[in-house]
Amino acid sequence: MRLSKPVDIQEISQALQKDACPICMLLKNLQATASRNVTSAEVVGLCNFHAWALAAAVDLARVAEVFLKLLDSADPAHPVTCSICARIREEEEQRLKELVDKMLGNNLRNWLVEQGSICLPHSEKLLRVAPVKLRPSIEKLIARRRADLSKELEEVRDQARLGEHRGGGVLGHAAEFLVSQRGVRTREEDKC
């Protein structure tokens, strides 16, 4: 597993300008930054996913220190939560609330419904934290994105059956919509 490189996106308004789930983009950026900069003082535990991500790190001395600390403190009778997963969960909650706040403005809400993108896992979480008056807009966004992807996937399928192998990018968009961006863990059962 390779670590993704952090990009210069730090605010929800920056992430909204991309054709992807803004929450996923921010979490992926946080995860890449945290994995590249984590220190032994910050880590009390690691999940399988983040341990392997760190094992692929460039800064060998820093990661060796993190792993040494974990080896010294490991107690199978008392498993600990992954420090990086915990940071991601905190960030996810904050960013979902930030998106809700921004959606309370009609301009952004209308734009999201007509053109925006959000993955199903974050749509579900957004529906849980959004006020009742925003839920119809979120549901319209989900329905529009699902319909757009269905149409594009049908076209790719039909072209592939005719021997044309173009438009595979829509497969990535569909995968992101269904489960989130590659490398971003959004389901609780996937997290430690």
Q: Are 112 and 142 in contact (CB under 8 A)?
A: no
What burial class does residue 107 get, using C-beta atoms within 10 Å of its C-beta: 0-12 exposed, 13-18 middle, 19+ buried? exposed
Range of the domain at 121: 12-190
117 assigned to some structural domain:
yes
106 belongs to a structural domain = yes
Residue 7 lies in a domain: no
> Taking the chain (192 residues) in consecutive chunks of 10 residues, what is each chunk's mean pLDDT?
58 76 90 86 90 85 93 84 92 93 85 89 94 94 95 93 84 92 67 50
Domain total for the chain? Answer: 1
On whether the pTM is more than 0.75, the answer is yes
DSSP string, 152-183: HHHHHHHHHHTT----THHHHHHHHHHH-STT
Q: Does residue 88 sit within a domain?
A: yes
Domain assignment of residue 4, yes or no:
no
Assess contact for 85 and 43: CB atoms under 8 A: no
Residue 127 CA to residue 129 CA, distance in Å, equals: 6
Q: How does pLDDT run across 116-148, given as a tens digit for each residue?
A: 889 999 999 999 999 999 999 999 999 999 999
**Helix axes 83-103 and 106-115, enclosed angle (nearest 10):** 110
The answer to whether residues 4 and 32 touch, using CB atoms and an 8 Å cutoff, is yes
Closest by CA position to 29, among listed 48, 50, 18, 15:
15
Residue 23's pLDDT is 93
pLDDT of residue 183: 79
